[in-house]
Structures are given as C-alpha cells and as structure tokens.
Amino acid sequence: MADFAGLSAAWELARRGIKVEVLERGAPGQEASWAGAGILSLLLPWNYPAPLQALTARSQRLYPDWIDAIRKSTAIDPEYRRTGMLVRPPYDLEKAATWLPGHTVTATPTALAGFGQGLWLPEVAQVRNPRLVQALLEGLRQLGVTIHSGIGTISLTTGANRVTAAVSDDRRWPADQFVVAASAWSANLLGQHTAGLPIRPIRGQMLLYRAEPGRLPCILYEAGQYLVPRADGHILVGSTLEDVGFDKTATAEARDRLHGFMARLLPDVAAASPIRHWAGLRPGAPGNIPIIARHPTLENLFVDSGHFRYGVTLAPASAELLADLMTGKAPEPTLRLFAWPDIIRAAPV
C-alpha cells in the first residue's frame, strides 16, 4: 500500500513518533498515484458536499508546508506549483455562486484571453505525482519507516474483534494497529471483513504531449476533461471515467477522444502525436466520499481509501484525519462524513 494514501498516512504517523511499517504487494508508486494528473483541487468544487469541500480546503492549506518539509528532507522536488485553473463553460453559475464566498475567483487575466472566457481560479495548484511518491518514499526511509515491497497478496488474521497480524505467503507482521489503504483493492484485502466497503475500480486514461515550456500557462478544465501543463513543457490530457473492473488497458477510443480535446484547444501541440498513453484505476466510492474510519467490528483496524478522483488533493488532510483517529483525537463533527457509512454497518458481514 505504498502510494499516496498509504505513504502520506505513514509520513504523518511517523512524524508523530509512531513506529510504522508499510507493506506493498508490488513496487511502490505504480498504481493510481503514478497515473494521475496531480491537480490539487476538486473539479467544479461546488458540486461536492460541504465536508468534502472542507477536507479539500484543509489539504490545500497543508500542502505548501507539507511539500516544503518533504522537499527539504529529501532534496526531491515534487514541483508543487500554483498555476491556477481556468474552468471553461458549461458550468452551473448559480451553484458556483454558493461556493464563491471565501474563495478567490477573478476575471480571466488578459494573458489567458486566447483560451476563452470562464471562471479563473488562481489558487489551484498541482504536483508531479511520480516525484511526490519518490519524495515520500525517501522521506519515510529517513524517518526510519521500513517499506516491505514485493510481498505479494496480504491477508489479515483476526481474533476477539481485533486484527492480530497481516500475513503474506511467507511472513507475518503483528502490530497494535493496522491501516488498509489498498485503493481499488481494499475490499479484496479485507476479504470476509469487507463489511460492504463500497470501493471499486474506475479506470482513467491520460495522454502526454511534448510542448515548449509556457505554451499553456495554467490548467484548463472543460466538461470533465482537462489539460495540465508541467514546468518542463509537457502537457497532460485527461481523463476518462470508465467502470470496467480491474482492466488497465489503454484504449484507442479514449486516445481519440482525448486527442480530439487537445486538437480543439491547442491544435499546434496536437499536430504531433502524444508521446505516451496510459490508464490507471481510481479507488471509486459513491459521491467521491473517501472512507477514513475505524472498521465497524475490528477495533484496531482502520481504512483510508476511496479518494476516487482526488487522492492526491486529499493526501495531507486525510493522513492528518486518520492519524487523529488512530491516536484517539476526536475528529471535527464536519468530518464525520468519512466514517464507515451507517447503512453499511448494518449490512451482514
């Protein structure tokens, strides 16, 4: 579970002086956390419930210092940059107006006139995901956290309403507390203790283009698709939302659709073929509400998963909330939305 949910939780717990070990079935940083675009914002934030907006806002506040701490201790730069995001129509202006108080939204700057009119959100930042994963891995090593990679499928042994150990084919890891942060595979890992965890894979595909640095100055969002510029000029195009199970195939149909979006917005960049096309599996959860909670029946087991489209955005605040729960600090009432849903607690285990 060595990706954003698992690594950021390990970082937060280790910084609070707790001894942590991370168990990863394969290689760290190869799944959704590698595949994502790294936009640090909800897309059309006004469409999401207030507690999710609050967790996002908390994460956005934590991000600069979080990145600074990781970068200073590791000398790896995850390229946290406030590039801003231009939201192009269509969007529901009335709904957007409910979110505007307390957020910075200004008229589109003249420099962006060529990209059309829309809502300009100047504070939206981004990171370069694979670099942030590398930085977190290095930071954790420095904090003395052991990351056990390539250990294959893990299961949990239990007794008296507690988890007693995490078990692989040839090893056992007993501990006082356990966290499942296995993304789309979290329900598989929980096995008979799934307790109705409503997390399932939702595929997303991306294209990558080479362009001159500065060709696109900000993130552009329109009707579920976006362009994200990196500092070195590369531009990402995303994404799709596909309910196809654990299938990570990158398809010609998605390639054509994403390429068409790029061709409409930046035809000169799209004149060259994309240099890369990939797919990742998001940990999809109803309403994009992650579950950051104690298991309903196993008292020393916690889940930190289901961040769906926003696992990068929500990483620092989710880790903080999880660490609070694990150390007995009561979460703010607004954050109770992330508890194991009652309707699920009532379901047969």
- The SS3 of residue 196 is coil
3 binds ligand FAD (CB under 6 A): yes
Near ligand FAD by CB under 6 A: residue from 9, 14, 23, 337: 23
* Options 4-12, 69-77, 258-266, 318-326: segment touching ligand FAD (CB under 6 A): 4-12
Q: How far is CA 51 from CA 45, 54, 344, in A?
A: 11, 5, 19
129-142 vs 50-74: helix crossing angle, rounded to 10: 60
Query: Which residues are CB-contacts of 217 (< 8 A; sequence separation ≥ 6)?
Result: 83, 84, 111, 112, 229
235 binds ligand FAD (CB under 6 A): no
Closer CB to ligand FAD, residue 120 or residue 178?
178
Neighbours of 177 (CB within 10 A): 17
Residue 222, token pair as written in the block: 């329109």
Of 26-65, binders to ligand FAD (CB under 6 A) are 26, 31-33, 35-39
Residue 286, token pair as written in the block: 């109803």
Of 281-310, binders to ligand FAD (CB under 6 A) are 282-283, 305, 307-310
Does 149 sit behind a cis peptide bond, omega within 30 degrees of 0 on the bond before it?
A: no
Closer CB to ligand FAD, residue 137 or residue 206?
206
- The SS3 of residue 312 is coil
Closer CB to ligand FAD, residue 206 or residue 235?
206
Closer CB to ligand FAD, residue 232 or residue 268?
232
- Integer Cα distance of 228 and 203 in angstroms: 19
DSSP summary character for residue 327: T
DSSP summary character for residue 33: H
Closer CB to ligand FAD, residue 6 or residue 296?
6
Near ligand FAD by CB under 6 A: residue from 4, 46, 63, 115: 4
206 binds ligand FAD (CB under 6 A): yes
**Strand order across the 172-174 sheet:** 155-159, 162-167, 172-174
- Mask: binding to ligand FAD, 123-152, rule CB under 6 A, as x and -? ------------------------------
Question: Considering the complex, what minimum distance in angstroms separates the CB of residue 159 from ligand FAD?
Answer: 20
- Integer Cα distance of 307 and 2 in angstroms: 15
Near ligand FAD by CB under 6 A: residue from 197, 313, 317, 338: 313
Question: Considering the complex, what minimum distance in angstroms separates the CB of residue 24 from ligand FAD?
Answer: 5
Question: Considering the complex, what minimum distance in angstroms separates the CB of residue 346 from ligand FAD?
Answer: 26
Range list of β-strands (E), 124-199: 146-148, 155-159, 162-167, 172-174, 178-180
Near ligand FAD by CB under 6 A: residue from 6, 78, 229, 341: 6
- Integer Cα distance of 311 and 304 in angstroms: 10
Near ligand FAD by CB under 6 A: residue from 78, 84, 139, 280: 280
Tell me which residue of 247, 213, 207, 245 sits closest to 227, measured CA to CA.
207
Near ligand FAD by CB under 6 A: residue from 140, 182, 199, 258: 182
Closer CB to ligand FAD, residue 60 or residue 108?
60
Q: Which positions lie near ligand FAD, rule CB under 6 A?
A: 1-6, 23-26, 31-33, 35-39, 153-154, 181-183, 185, 189, 204, 206, 238-239, 280, 282-283, 305, 307-313
